[in-house]
Amino acid sequence: MELYSGHINKLIEELAALPGIGGKSAQRLAFYLINMPQDKVNRLASSILEAKANVRYCRECYTLTDQEICPVCANQNRNHRLIMVVENTRDMAAYEKTGKYEGVYHVLHGAISPMLGIGPGDIKLKELVNRLEGDVEEVIIATNSSLEGETTAMYISKLIKPVGIKVTRIASGVPVGGDLEYIDEVTLLRALEGRVEL
């Protein structure tokens, strides 16, 4: 027999298809949603639909935003000759949180991954190259320190270097506050290779 009735099962299925939500959490969430006051349920459903309907790519940097041009690109006090390339909007937000980066961004929306069949044409690389026709001094590659992120970084550097623009990669090493004992060997070797004189 079915444990729950139709509408409950359907909701559980939809929720379980979201990332990071397993079967048990989906059940818990479903009953929480059903027991929520009607106005809160409406608000959640409309937030989902409105975000989907109104959020688009920034015309400049391709981050997800409500506006034609995102607040970072629209800010004339930032250095538009310095472009940091990130994999997604959340990574951009992570750097924005530091409050110290003065340049602008370019959001790829992914990384090259032969394993997942994601090639250079599937991420916003052509758009990056187009931006380089303007007045750009340096491109900082801040893709993740994963296999995909490194592959993408290599690809971009090979693509841009011939144009004559400076290309840099954010440092890889021991995280601040990190205990050497718990850090993997690859990171330890990276930290050694990237050592700087004091």
Tell me which residues touch a second copy (CB under 8 A).
Answer: 1-8, 10-11, 14-15, 18-20, 25, 27-34, 36, 38, 41-52, 54-55, 64-67, 70-71, 88-90, 93, 96-97
The nearer residue to a second copy, 4 or 59, going by C-beta atoms, is: 4
- To a second copy, the closest distance from the beta carbon of 173 in angstroms equals 23
CB 88 within 8 A of CB 107: yes
Residue 94 has φ and ψ, to the nearest 5°, of: -60, -45
In 28-175, at which residue ranges do the beta strands (DSSP E only) sit? 56-57, 64-65, 79-86, 103-107, 138-141, 166-169
- To a second copy, the closest distance from the beta carbon of 100 in angstroms equals 13
The nearer residue to a second copy, 109 or 190, going by C-beta atoms, is: 109
The nearer residue to a second copy, 106 or 169, going by C-beta atoms, is: 106
Positive or negative torsion for Cα 173, 139, 68, 120: negative
Q: In 3D, which of 105, 109, 107 has the Cα closest to residue 96?
A: 105
Amino acid identity, position 136 = V
- To a second copy, the closest distance from the beta carbon of 70 in angstroms equals 7
- To a second copy, the closest distance from the beta carbon of 51 in angstroms equals 4
